[in-house]
Copies of this chain bind each other. A is one copy, B any other.
């Protein structure tokens, strides 16, 4: 990861702005902020601690509010909105595109979003309530409604004259959609087609008829994987009656793709996706405590298993010393399998038809891992503790636990997905519990049987 020029520039800017704030150079900071693009102001806010955030926010021009809010992550945005007067918030919301407006509203507490909605003008409120009605994480939620539609019988010449009259085309438009009299989607024409077509040609001659449309209630993750697979820049959204209701553009989908990929990593470490790196200490401590609580229960369960072998442990202290090796190796191997299967599911590679084969494969890897690491650990222990039998006991436990790890790592996500539980969230805790319990039982159990 080479240190990027851009990152350095921003890092310097943050430092300068902080210094200027400390020196009370309010006017200068206000001036710098007004020249920065909204995405950089958002990054500056996200990279600052919460006290500095409020100070900076007060120096931003109100006409920048909506752009900056759009670019902020949910946690940081909500923190700022909580300090805004409903009327000013409503003004900022009204300026947003439907997709950003809805995303912002949906993250707010019910009372705050109701206040904001009732301060908005009639037309914008209806627009927001319509989109909110599609339900969070659906295509309807992330779509825009500023779509330009064409009729099949119109010629290119007429369209070009209409567009010149209209003067501007919504951002991110790469395709025009063709609809009939009842708004049914019947085809699409790329913007570039209009440039190369002869003026007298009719739309129906130009349009592609078999273009794929996104149903308004499709889950956003599914929308994202369609965009990724087919390299789309935008896609039409249709309702149940095949009527065109909006379009989704790649810039919103990029966020979903990145968040989807990050989700697994954050969940596996017991973090909230939207966790704000610069949130206050108490808030962060609270957010992370659930996971640590679960981890404590797991650790106590492992201790309870060891407790069953107290007599053995009190006779052979060497077992206490080596007791963590087998569980640790099982946890590491199982986590590799778990991570791979979770990613395979997210990419759409793992499905019912090949799950059984995959479990078999990971079982086989568990077996080979078992052989390799059992032999290695047996040699190490036999040499270190000068005890061949002890080496044999730990080798056997390693063998058993590696197979259990491969099996659990592959089966857990498949089973959890069937039960509609997110494997990234709970998979690694359950896996570690299994590899701990199996590892300790196998090691201390075999030792009790053979060494005493």
Contact = CB atoms under 8 A, between A and B. Distances in A.
A196 B270 CA distance: 51
Interface string A5-23: 1111011101100100000
A292 B333 contact: yes
Interface in A32-50: 37, 39-40, 43, 46-49
B328 A2 contact: no
A354 interface: yes
B343 A262 contact: yes
Contact of A353 (B11, B169, B292): B11
A420 interface: yes
A365 interface: yes
Interface string A351-391: 11110011001001100110011001100100000000000
Contacts of A258: 228, 257-258, 261
Contact of A317 (B6, B313, B322, B338): B313
Contacts of A350: 47, 277
Interface string A226-241: 1111110100000000
Given A196-B167, A225-B6, A288 B11 contact: no
A111 to B, nearest CB: 29
Interface of A: 1-8, 10-12, 14-15, 18, 37, 39-40, 43, 46-49, 160, 163-164, 166-169, 172-174, 191-192, 194-198, 219, 221-222, 225-231, 233, 250-251, 254-255, 257-258, 261-262, 264-266, 268-271, 275, 277-278, 281-282, 284-285, 288-289, 291-292, 295-296, 298-300, 302-303, 306-307, 310-311, 313-314, 317-325, 327-329, 332-333, 335-336, 338-341, 343-345, 347-354, 357-358, 361, 364-365, 368-369, 372-373, 376-377, 380, 417, 420, 422, 436
26 contacts: A4-B225, A7-B351, A39-B231, A40-B229, A46-B349, A160-B195, A172-B233, A173-B192, A227-B254, A228-B258, A233-B250, A250-B250, A257-B258, A258-B258, A261-B261, A268-B268, A277-B349, A281-B361, A282-B368, A288-B333, A288-B365, A291-B332, A291-B336, A298-B328, A299-B328, A320-B323
